[in-house]
Amino acid sequence: MAETPNDRVTEINLNKEMRTSFLDYAMSVIVARALPDVRDGLKPVHRRILYAMNDLGMTSDKAYKKSARIVGEVIGKYHPHGDSAVYFTMVRMAQHFSYRNMLVDGHGNFGSVDGDMAAAMRYTEARMSKIAMELLRDINKDTIDYADNYDGSEKEPVILPARFPNLLVNGSSGIAVGMATNIPTHHLGEVIDGVLALSRDPEIEIRELMEYIPGPDFPTAGLIMGRSGIRRAYETGRGSIVVRARVDIEEKKKWQRNDHYHGNTVSSE
């Protein structure tokens, strides 16, 4: 007997299906790209960049290699998205004004705090920074789990071993479905002191912990006005602070340019 279209129709509860599908979608966004893993403080794209650099032998004691080589490795094996998105992420990891402790050691024009764009990936070079090596140390000693990449042809780490609390040190920001995070950067030494204090006394109070970690430490050295917002954020996970910037005023000076063109000299003031 021939199958009719009605035989292929399955009745479902719309409310239940919407709830299940939305949850699956939200979790895929959270896990796959939007929010960092608290264990290593990295989003998947950051983790894949560092893992690819480690695979290529681009450690802090080796020579720099072209950024395009890194981006190609990442999108070819682990992250099937646009090359510009991967390169922009790597550029931020090499900017001293974006990361408290840079994870990528860049060579060339990687942009400026004034908003200047980085040079194209075919011009710049990079390798892992020394502190990034601590995120990957002992990765080959069965310390972490691996999962299949997007097409099952390669294995990639679920997390990195991370021998320091990178989530607090370098912070993170991201917007997912129904949730978001914005964690400021902190001083590495203060965070380590706080971790040691917590290991000695797992019941330590926030007030006591703030003796070791008094507050965020921004890469651009902003001045935090007051501490009430910091404590509220540490206690509840939500809080706001007022940051004051230091400004250096550079006076415009008289300048002269000499242009040499086909033997003729033109001076302008």
Q: How far is CA 172 from CA 74, 79, 95, 220, in A?
A: 21, 20, 14, 15
Active site residue 234: no
Rounded to 10 deg, the angle between the 44-55 and 83-93 helix axes is 80
For residue 16 the two structure tokens come to: 């239940």
Rounded to 10 deg, the angle between the 83-93 and 67-77 helix axes is 120
Q: Are 158 and 39 in contact (CB under 8 A)?
A: no
**237 DSSP 8-state letter:** S
Question: What is d(CA 209, CA 232) in angstroms, rounded to the nearest whole number?
Answer: 13
Annotated catalytic residue, options 51, 78, 123, 150: 123
Return all residues near 220 (Cβ < 8 A) that are at least 6 apart.
97, 113, 245
Residue 232: φ, ψ to 5°: -60, -40
Q: Which residues are designated catalytic? A: 123
